[in-house]
Amino acid sequence: MRRTEPVEVNLADLPASDLVRRITSGDATAADAVEASLERIERRNPGLNAFSVVLADEARADAARLDASLAAGEAPGPLHGVPIAIKEEVDVVGCVTTFGGRGNSTPAARDSEVVARLRRAGAVIIGKTRMPEFGQWPFTESVDGGITRNPWDRSHTPGGSSGGTAAAVAAGMVPVGIGGDGGGSIRIPSAYCGLFGLKPTRGRVTSDPMPHLWWALGTTGPLTRTVLDSALVYDVIRGNLAADRFKAPEPGTSFIAAAGADPGRLRIGWSTVPVTKGVRPADEHVRAVHEIAAVLAELGHDVVEIDPAYPDPTAAFIPQFFGGVRTEADAMEHFDRLEPRTRQTYRLGAWVTPSIIEKAMAAGERLAERTNRIFTGFPGQQGVDVLLTPTIGPRPRRVGALSRGGTVAAALKSRPVVAWTALWNVTGNPAASVPTGIAADGLPVAVQLVGRIGDETTLLSLSAQLERARGWPLLTEGGDRAASMR
């Protein structure tokens, strides 16, 4: 394919939406995009350990096929030529679905439906990314995979469990990566790494090949550097299959349209009160909520401090957590190869029977009805359209969180990290981590926006408005420090 003009920028630095425009207009090729991604992976992955598998030969072959199809006049897909990374828990044909450990050894016979939809849209699967075993913890460290590091400061964790995906996207190795969220695992690493990460409404994205992900808790979704890229990917992957246990009704508009639309005047409630009692947010996170509340007010929204009166989600969350880990562990080919900590989690969850899981999900539905009064209104308190909170409690910790101790020790370290995220997995509400800047420690800061069940479109519109108003931090070419605000 002949270019109409030379490529003037490193394609690895472009968001997916810009990359598609360049490729489909003839200013670059899918092969160019893949080579830029592979070159960045070769240079940056050794210091970060974001990828577990790099599919270089397969990606080059897919790019050549895409270039040939475009040259032949075939219509390009919405992700034509975009290199995308996939979390280890998601099936990619020919790759072992490791779930972050060594319990499986047979390569997947087919792509999961999410990956198949990405391919049909023209995406190029570039590799698979690290996670803690079964995604149990908000730190991406495992016996098999070692430690994954934050590209902003390699002595710190990128969070988890989608930490490999977050590190890959933040370091510019790919513009988009697929993660999963069962208690904050898209939002937490997005907050740690300066990315946009939207956990969708429960059932928005198919859980194929499994009927559910950690029962009612889990969902799949992208981590991106822009709101538009997140919307672009969600419009490709959203929708259900018959075997999905949970299904969300279709929204009234495309997510891309929502990301480009003015949100209108919204009533936005803010609070820094934690769901988990006794957890104190870092000062940087409190300041970020106050600053964004002020920005939103300047943008014309009705912004008020509220008391969310959060209920305790423990009785609904814990059985589903244990049940989810046990379900995935039972499906492993080699249970004896699981990490000692994971086997301990399995034993500690032996009390979680199928009937207990069903009762936990029913408790979650009752809790969701109560929690969503934040949006419908309490007696004496008007409801809001969006809730603004911190995404995480403490600042990102140094690597090595899982280097010693068992399940209880890991849970205690995780507790303050998930204090604002896990509730929304129980209730099924959409929630997004939105970057706000860089703190004095050199690491990103973020806030969380939570919407009504089924209302991702408002979160996308509002997040895009903030992106335009504030700009977001980028990494330098060296991949270590902030260079500019988008």
Tell me the Ramachandran region of residue 22: left when phi exceeds 0, alpha when psi lies from -120 to 50, beta otherwise. Answer: alpha
| Residues 6 or more apart whose Cβ sits within 8 Å of residue 286 | 272, 390
Question: Given this model, what pLDDT does residue 476 score?
Answer: 57
pLDDT at 78: 98
Contact indicator for 108, 18 with CB cutoff of 8 Å = no
pTM: 0.96
Structure tokens at 404: 């010693």
Residues carrying an active site annotation: 87, 161, 185
Give residue 7's pLDDT.
43
Domains annotated for the chain, with CATH where assigned, are 14-485 (3.90.1300.10)
Helix (H, G, I), strand (E, B) or coil at 437: strand
C-alpha span between 48 and 54 (Å, rounded): 14
Contacts by 257-260, CB closer than 8 A, 24 or more apart: 258/231, 258/456, 258/457, 258/458, 258/460, 258/461, 259/227, 259/228, 259/230, 259/231, 259/460, 259/461, 259/463, 259/464, 260/228, 260/464
Q: Mean pLDDT, consecutive 10-residue segments, the chain of 486 residues?
A: 53 97 98 98 98 98 98 98 98 98 98 98 98 98 97 98 98 98 98 98 98 97 98 98 96 95 98 94 98 98 96 97 97 98 98 97 97 92 96 97 96 97 98 97 98 98 97 66 42
What's the pLDDT at 8? 67
- Taking CA atoms, 156 is separated from 130, 284, 444, 472, in Å, by 15, 17, 12, 20
pLDDT at 481: 46
Cα 157 to Cα 438: distance, rounded to the nearest angstrom: 16
Count other Cβ atoms within 10 Å, centred on residue 183: 29
Q: Count Cβ neighbours within 10 Å for each residue of 369-393 and write b for 16 or more, e otherwise.
A: eebeebbeeeeeeeebbbbbbbbbb
Strand 219-224 to 196-199 pairing: antiparallel
Distances (CA, A) of 151 to 42, 155, 166, 305: 14, 9, 9, 34
Assess contact for 206 and 148: CB atoms under 8 A: no
